[in-house]
Amino acid sequence: MRIATDLHAEPHIEGQRVTVRRIQGLVEEAGRPAEEVAGQLDLDAAEVYGALQYYHSHPDEMREAEREQAEREQQAREDGAKTPAELKEERA
């Protein structure tokens, strides 16, 4: 398993569009088992654990990815994009 940093805006599983931060969020922030996350994302458990290792081994890079994502989201809001919560309210 390799973590790629070239084609997307942040580190991700090579050959996939699954970011390291997404995996970390699902496992550590949402408290889901690594094996469950692996099944949901069509990954091996080793890939999930590898992504978690990468996340914790590269704290500066991950903070920078989080900062850049926050900037992109802020710019999108300034450009008129709606949040998921706003879209959900419109559908209700």
Domain assignment of residue 40, given as a range: 3-91
10 Å CB burial of residue 38 (0-12, 13-18, 19+) is buried
Q: How many domains are there within the chain?
A: 1
pLDDT in tens, 28-80: 999 999 999 999 999 999 999 999 999 999 999 999 999 988 998 899 989 99
Fill in the amino acid letter for 30. A
pTM: 0.81
Determine the Cα angle at 9 with ends 80 and 56, to 5°.
120
The pLDDT score that the predictor gives to residue 43 is: 95
Examine the pLDDT at 8 and tell me if it is beyond 80. no
CA dist 2 and 25 (Å) reads 19
